Amino acid sequence: DAKTTQPPSMDCAEGRAANLPCNHSTISGNEYVYWYRQIHSQGPQYIIHGLKNNETNEMASLIITEDRKSSTLILPHATLRDTAVYYCTSNDYKLSFGAGTTVTVRA
């Protein structure tokens, strides 16, 4: 069973920041939080991961709350190609997925 919960859908305007929330209140202290996205009919793509500290890479930023019960993925300047299903998960040995958030970026 997935240990994370996410809103089912979100719309975002092109060029604006997209903030995707995820609740993971039951993950253990040594489990990383991972974010992936899946564009239609493709395999999931790794975005970013983190344990305690906030992280940033060329794709996104990850903000993890101090109590590690939730996190936010930030796409700083959303483009139409960012339209996808975004999954937040943890790396307990078997990587399981919840329903994810369907993000639609609109022009």
Partner 1 sequence: GAVVSQHPSRVICKSGTSVKIECRSLDFQATTMFWYRQFPKQSLMLMATSNEGSKATYEQGVEKDKFLINHASLTLSTLTVTSAHPEDSSFYICSAKEGQHHYGYTFGSGTRLTVV
Q: How far is the CB of 69 from partner 1 (least distance, A)?
A: 21
Q: Which is nearer to partner 1, 60 or 87 (CB)?
A: 87
Closest to partner 1 by CB, 4 vs 18, is: 4
Task: Please report, as ranges, the residues that interact with partner 1 according to CB under 8 A.
Answer: 32, 34, 36, 38, 41-46, 49, 85, 87, 91, 94-100
Whichever of 48 and 105 has its CB closer to partner 1, that residue is: 48
* Beta-carbon count within 10 A of 102 CB: 16
Reading the block at residue 23, the tokens are 């609740």
Q: Is the dihedral of CA 43, 46, 52, 54 positive or negative?
A: negative
How big is the chain by its Cα radius of gyration, in Å? 13
